[in-house]
Amino acid sequence: MRRALVAGNWKMHGSSASVARLLGELLQGLNSDAAQSDADIVVCPSHPHLAQAATLCADSAIAVGGQDCSAHAEGAYTGEVAPDMLSDLGCQWVIVGHSERRQYHGESDAVVAAKLAASHSAGLHTMLCVGETRAQREAGQAEEVVRHQLATALENRAVLDRLVIAYEPVWAIGTGLTATPQQAQAMHAFIRGLLREWSLDADGTRVLYGGSVKAGNAAELFAEPDIDGALVGGASLEAKQFLAIIAAAAQRAQAAN
Ligand code: PEP
């Protein structure tokens, strides 16, 4: 059984005060419910809040991750953050290939692959985001798009170690539209099939769903056999919502035992 994982992508939100408040509420909520230790939990604040978050989460059930990293280990890349710098701040995780990076920063599949290779070399656990736009889904190209994104990122087979894949249909991110559990399951099964086809660890690799996951729809998504947790945007900024999503993921693990 793959261990459930729930990650929060806080995007460009927060201040030191709100980070302290939100993490305080999350840590308190997790301390009062031991059952939730059945899920791995990651939060990804914006870069300026990472050190603070890592200090607040030290020795807790919450791991901290960056929302992006450079494809370079160091050098004259103004504004970039190297994967080693994330580790140095206390991060164990990083997200690469988020659709907002692809859309607003022109990150191609090749750039995402280079970032994944860099984060892997730095020893980080990486969440690799893949997913199709609405136009691509409507044109019947969803699987082809995801196949290309994954094939490029996983050309270097070594990166599968410490990798989690997040299927995030772009049309469901921050829109309130969620893929139905059946739509999500179908793509997750397709992704697992690709890993199998490429002789990679299909059964051991966690595949998260992301796209308007909330307390109200998490359990039905996690009931699907190939959905191993969620990458959560908006709802991860509210402790009550995020804790409920974690609880739904933990229950999935308990139901399987
Ligand atoms: C995300 O940013 O990865 C995401 C899934 O956002 P939301 O949950 O708000 O759709």
> DSSP for 69-81?
--SSSSSS-TT--
Burial of 176 (C-beta count, 10 Å sphere; 0-12/13-18/19+): exposed
Q: For residues 113 and 40, what is the distance between their CA atoms, to the nearest angstrom?
A: 25
Residue range 143-169, pLDDT digits in tens: 999 999 999 999 999 889 999 999 999
| Beta-bridge partner residues of 8 | 43, 232
Q: Which of 100, 107, 132, 168 is catalytic?
A: 168
Query: How much is the pLDDT for 32?
Result: 84
Give yes or no: 168 in active site: yes
Query: How much is the pLDDT for 254?
Result: 73
**248, 38 contact by CB (below 8 A):** no
From the options 3.60.20.10, 3.90.79.10, 3.40.1280.10, 3.20.20.70, give the CATH code of 4-256.
Answer: 3.20.20.70
Parse the chain into domains and list their residue ranges: 4-256
Tokens of 100: 């907002």
* Cβ of 8 less than 6 Å from ligand 1: no
Tokens 């399987």, residue?
A: 256
Tokens 């999350």, residue?
A: 26
Query: How much is the pLDDT for 35?
Result: 66
Candidate from 96, 165, 173 with most ligand 1 atoms within 8 A of CB, to mutate:
173
Query: How much is the pLDDT for 174?
Result: 83
* Cβ of 131 less than 6 Å from ligand 1: no
**114, 71 contact by CB (below 8 A):** yes
How many whole angstroms from 201 Cα to the centroid of ligand 1? Answer: 26
* Cβ of 9 less than 6 Å from ligand 1: yes
What residues contact 228, with CB distance under 8 A and at least 6 apart?
A: 2, 3, 4, 5, 206, 207, 208
How many whole angstroms from 75 Cα to the centroid of ligand 1? Answer: 31
Query: How much is the pLDDT for 178?
Result: 85
Q: Is 210 left (phi over 0), alpha (psi -120 to 50) or beta?
A: beta
Query: How much is the pLDDT for 176?
Result: 81
Burial of 90 (C-beta count, 10 Å sphere; 0-12/13-18/19+): middle
User: What are the mean pLDDT values of the chain's consecutive 10-residue runs (257 residues total)?
Assistant: 95 98 97 81 98 97 98 97 98 98 96 97 98 96 98 93 96 88 98 97 97 96 97 98 96 74
Query: How much is the pLDDT for 37?
Result: 79
**Ligand 1 atom closest to Cα of residue 230:** 5
User: Is the entire prediction scored with pTM above 0.85?
Assistant: yes
**Ligand 1 atom closest to Cα of residue 212:** 10
* Cβ of 233 less than 6 Å from ligand 1: yes
**Ligand 1 atom closest to Cα of residue 95:** 3
